[in-house]
Structure 1
Amino acid sequence: MSGTLRLIRSIGNLFVIGYPLSSLLYFMWGLSMKRIVYWDGYNVLNGVIIFLIIAGFVPFSISLFVSDLQTGWRILASLFVFPLLCCSAFFWMDLPFYKQVNEMQFDRHKYLLTYHNSIYGEGAYDWYLFECARAGILCKATLLYSDEYGEFYNDSSLTSLVIDEDVNELHVVIDNDLLYTVGHPSREYIVMARSAQRGKYGYNLSQYKDPHTNSLIFNLYECDAQFRCARLPFVYSVPGQGVAASSRLFVEIDETTRDVHVIRQSASQDAELIFSYGDRPHCHVQECSIPDD
């Protein structure tokens, strides 16, 4: 056997074994990680890899004929690769191709504001914030908002990442609404179509889960037009076992007194005032408290 023929058969053997295994390893990684990691060039890299998997089927088919592996192994490899090739096509179509609209360096991390089309239909976006290492290699995703009907936050040009240097926090703003804050603690905000306005300030209800008690904690923030925000003396806590059944909370401004009201409402009860903020803060229900600081 000539050296050239031996080399061709060795390459064929390598391709018959390596092509299915490398494709399988990629899919095992992709299926487990694609929803929680992202990096610069994520869309391009995934597209290139899956294209190579599909395009690699041609040299793989040729390798089946030039390989000197036993016939049974070659048949097994070919039977394994065909469904893998079909999965490649479906996986490619199912990739969440994110579109990045903003980027900001903050507190030793790089933050990317991105979106992709919602599963609910055209014109509806799912918004994500990716927290990345400073080099932008590996990132963790936070879902900010998922739109079922395409009614809100469907204009990607109305977005910004704003650093509040007074309190060292990063705000995510979409369509002039505050959706998320990276800070102490990091928190999301209850979407109310528009924040309640009083004079030059907007009022936003935040929520986060206390990792120690598993309670859902609500706070009220007063923000100016540049999204410099101050936390008001209001804490509303829902115990862990009651989180799923918690009432809907929202903010409104009393038209007569111009006080800020926090209202809760459930499907079975009328709206109930739980907190008011005018000349001084006042709680109206047991779950509400006014911190000393």
Structure 2
Amino acid sequence: MKAMVQDSYGPPDVLELRDIDRPEPAPDEVLVRVHAAGVDQGTWHQVSGLPYLVRLVFGPRHPRVPVPGLDVSGVVEEVGARVTEFRPGDEVFGIGKGTFAEYTTAKTVVRKPANLTHEQAGAVAVSACTALAVTRGVEAGRRVLVIGAGGGVGSYAVQLATAAGASVTGVCGPSKVDLVRSLGAVEVVDYTREPLTGQYDLVVDIAGGRPFPVLRRLLTPRGTLVLVGSEEGGHWLGMGRQFGALIRRPFWTQRLRAPISIVRRAALDELSALLADGTITPAVDRTFALGDVPAAITYLRDGHARGKIVVTP
């Protein structure tokens, strides 16, 4: 099969399109023929090996799994000996092991809703599960601010908070204003032209760089600040804002959260129901061919993506 393979960590061009052996599913896994695979910041961490802390998971010197990619949507080709829920021909989506390939093995998958294309379903798992975690507990009538509303996690966070009955303000760049408004935000702030004002019950800051005092001023006295992702902290830890939040939390009247999202079956089941009834819809910007994964990652890192981007073999 064809796959994008890396022998070492580095910039996106360390990836090469090669012919490799098709993987074999473990007893509790399925083999999926990949129709679409999402690209997110986590895949950049896989490829770059940065910050170095992530190498404890991916491999200290070189990637343990040479094919990157996590999100997947496709068709079950083969099932492991202990799998009873799926059979060949089933359409599924979720998390795979090296999804920038024609085939991948997967354990955490659910059936794809019939109203979604594979391109849409392939853009769900990582970003939507993260958004589900950060918006958990949002109540009707609350005011929610999503900073980074035009990206992968942000586009789902806007929809999930809106579905819960919250009044959502989205913050994004000028090219994403129309998208964020279409997702349900009652107000959209172009951060290049307008300052952030007002007070909110929940502020979701996605990979932002605003100082903590600025973010606190946007919170009600009992509001909650949620930090998602961070590029601060250097090449070693890369979690400067999260550690800063832990230090400050005992001294704040407001609540501070920096959740680590793990894609679990229960979350995928919940998202599948919301997708099936149209409560949320994946916002897919562009589709790249398998051999163009380096370009897809670069496009993402340059901040161009409006919502999600996917790769199709």
The question of a shared fold, defined as TM-score above 0.5 by the shorter chain, is answered with no
Q: Which category describes the TM-score, using the shorter chain as reference length?
A: under 0.3
Task: Compute the TM-score of the two structures, normalised by the length of structure 1.
Answer: 0.25
TM-score (norm: length of structure 2): 0.24
The structure in which a higher percent of residues are strand is 1
Bigger CA radius of gyration: 1
Considering Cα pairs closer than 8 Å and 6+ residues apart, tell me whether 1 or 2 has the greater RCO: 2
